Structure 1
Amino acid sequence: MTSAPAKPLRAGIIGTGGIAQSHARAMTTLEGEIDLVAVTDLDRDRAAAFAAEHGDPTVFLNAQELLESAELDLVSICTPPQTHAPLAITAMRAGITALVEKPTALSLAEVDEIAEVETETGVQTLTVFQHRFGVAARRLGELVDSGALGRPLVATCDTLWFRPDSYFDVPWRGRWDIEGGGPTMGHGIHQFDLLLSVLGDWQEITAVAARQLRPTDTEDVSAALVRMQSGAVVTVMNSLLSPRETSRVRFDFERATVEVEHLYGYQSSDWIFTPAPGHEELAEQWNPAEDGTSGHRHQLAAIAQALTAGERAGVDLAEARRTLEFAAATYASAFRRTPITAGQIAGDDPFMTSMSGGMVPWEQTKNQAVTS
């Protein structure tokens, strides 16, 4: 006797701004696995227009009503970062898996609060780090895990983007208290999350951060020199000041270089595999299928598969926390002008509760000028 086919997951979206389009389009392509049945937004007209564009899911008055009444399995939280932790906690307590746009929360303390509720409820909060789920990234992970490429030695990770002053006309952008940080938290985090997913745990970060040009409270550029637990040496650059935009990640292993350059999403053809002399046969093992651009669809498909099977999905809180700690350590090192080791930010350290740590150099300079 064959079992009945699994019902599609019932999904909702909170916040129908720009990034919600990626969630809705991905859900639409996963017909039979995920049904978008509910949406809400502070702007009801925007929510209604969004619903009309994406299959007419029910429009709820607010997030609380959606979480209480829509009978959801999964909810995408596509609101400004300040709201991520409270909404995720509310969803978990309603028995609904939360999929949160990056960053998971504004601080490590908030992530730890979410983790406590996850333990209490048994319901997960997941973070959107879609670059992990592209076909080529998964193939790279398989080769690394097999040991075929040898030890990782060197890596570079660059998010060189351009955002004009007008980008920050949106009130929550460029503010520590709402967005949590600048390109380190809001832009480059996708690339260095991919890097960490391949190389594993980091050990120590020495960083700089600056506000060079943009009208923000936060940095508009940061750079970090990182030693991984494996011993690999890594550089990470995050910028919103770069007219020729690119996203690059390169890994140099003992037996091969594997690299990708793209902008907001890669295809398998964007990756280059270069075997080291004497290891040319490895090129035959680099054979990722071409399966569209890395994006929300791949991650949502993996989540649907896991939840339908009653398994834990990714990217889970432990993995997301490691990436967020990397961001916090970048700021702490830059502002304290000292290396920061993994696990050092803890307890009553001010960088536990704010990415700025209350010690932003340009803010302190401004305050000194005002009082002098």
Structure 2
Amino acid sequence: MSVKTVAVIGCGIGRSHIVEGYVPHPDRFRVKAICDLNEERLQTIGDEFGIEQRTTSFKELLADESIDIIDICTPPGLHLEQVLDALAAGKHVVCEKPLTGSLKGVDRIIEAEKHARGALMPIFQYRYGDGIEKAKRIVEAGIAGKPYVGSVETFWLRTGEYYSVPWRGKWETELGGVLVTHALHLHDMMLNLMGPVAKVFGRVATRVNDIEVEDCASASLLMQNGALVSLSCTLGSQEQISRLRLHFENVTFESSHGAYTPGKDPWKIIAANDAVQARIDEVIGDWQPVAPRFTTQMAHFHDFLCGKGPLPVTTKDARRAIELVTAIYQSSDSGEEIALPVGPESPKYATWRARTR
């Protein structure tokens, strides 16, 4: 098995990538280098994991031919140019969410990928865990049947202390609010199980914190398959939960309520009758436990790099999630329902920052 060398750029959430994504797979990955502008954090993380190569220079790592993968964990406003630079340098790239802050930016990345030697994998780690992966297997087996209705709730808490970090809460550097940096996870999980969106009506507001971006939002979706889905999210919940409840013809799924582990068991999987339950048991009765979050996503990424499986998350997946954000922002500003796909004709295609508070 080929061991891939990794440089982690940004040691905040980057530490979680190391702990969950790379340390559990010593036969697949070796974190060779880390990069951070905070010298104290750089040294602390380097000492913790025995990483000798430590630098404040992103360009230095792009030029290092011994590095296979650039893992971008920097503030969101830096993602677009760093992804493009890493692809141009011939590296494989992992990038935290949001991949970028507009559909125009995503489309620039998609165009760059066509000419790149390396592959890009956006991060959507909440797709991985026993609960959601069982649900996905049941849906893909055709057991769930027609999708009816779903609700997705991202009820988290972020206070002024969270926004004391200079880049947070600003359009230029965080790129958006609760829709972009928090609820995007749950919304991707829903899309992964319910399919693409046809129409969106949404509202956003800034009610919890004194910030530029939104911290409350709600939306009503019509899916392409005819199902109806409601989304609601806030950063002002005194109890933090993440919850999906999805109703199909033959099965109702409800996720665990762990704010940051909604893909893990226990999930409720409620069959319509004994016959449906028997079919479910055939599909997941021999289930082998799946490691949650980054551990499984990175394992699948290594399989892809070795030609043993598909790319687990693609830029098209990231575009679909960002397209939903774009439609909600556009609907909130216009007061109108927005039909997807959203293209260059949208006033929000190139930027979200013109939103009216």
Q: Which letter maps to 1:25?
A: V
Deviations along 1:126-167, one digit per CA (max 9) or x if unpaired, are 211011122332222221112111111111111000111221
Would you say how many aligned residue pairs link Structure 1 and Structure 2?
352
1:133 and 2:95 aligned? no
CA contact (8 A) 1:136 1:289 kept: no
- Residues 312/143 of structure 1: CA separation in 2 closer, same or farther (3 Å cut): closer
> What is the aligned counterpart of 1:347 among 329, 341, 344?
344
Q: Which letter maps to 1:275?
A: A
What's 2:41 paired with?
A: 46
Q: Which letter maps to 1:313?
A: L
Structure 1 residue runs of 5 or longer lacking an equivalent are: 1-5, 363-372
Matches within 5 A, 1:96-135: 96-135=91-130
Q: CA–CA distance in 2 between the matches of 1:224 and 1:179?
A: 21
Q: CA–CA distance in 1 between the matches of 2:259 and 2:288?
A: 20
Deviations along 1:348-371, one digit per CA (max 9) or x if unpaired, are 533111123x1x222xxxxxxxxx
1:275 and 2:274 aligned? no
- Residues 341/64 of structure 1: CA separation in 2 closer, same or farther (3 Å cut): same
Q: CA–CA distance in 1 between the matches of 2:343 and 2:243?
A: 31
What's 1:263 paired with?
A: 259
Q: CA–CA distance in 2 between the matches of 1:16 and 1:280?
A: 45
CA contact (8 A) 2:252 2:270 kept: yes
Q: CA–CA distance in 2 between the matches of 1:254 and 1:310?
A: 34
Greater Cα shift, 237-246 or 115-124: 115-124
Q: Cα offset for 1:298?
A: 1.0
> What is the aligned counterpart of 1:148 among 125, 138, 143?
143
Matches within 5 A, 1:31-110: 31-69=26-64, 71-110=66-105
1:179 and 2:174 aligned? yes
Q: CA–CA distance in 2 between the matches of 1:255 and 1:163?
A: 38
Deviations along 1:235-265, one digit per CA (max 9) or x if unpaired, are 1112101111100011111011011022101
Find the residue that maps to 1:352 and give its secondary structure.
coil
What's 1:231 paired with?
A: 226
Q: Which letter maps to 1:340?
A: I
Find the residue that maps to 2:278 and give its secondary structure.
helix
Q: How many percent of aligned residue pairs carry the same amino acid?
A: 27
Q: CA–CA distance in 2 between the matches of 1:243 and 1:67?
A: 43
> What is the aligned counterpart of 1:21 among 10, 15, 22?
15
Q: Which letter maps to 1:91?
A: A
1:188 and 2:186 aligned? no
- Root-mean-square deviation (CA, aligned residues, Å) is 1.7
Find the residue that maps to 1:330 and give its secondary structure.
helix
Q: Which letter maps to 2:311?
A: A
Q: CA–CA distance in 2 between the matches of 1:123 and 1:302?
A: 16
Q: Which letter maps to 1:191?
A: L
Q: Which letter maps to 2:136?
A: G
What's 1:366 paired with?
A: none
Find the residue that maps to 1:217 and give its secondary structure.
coil
1:222 and 2:222 aligned? no
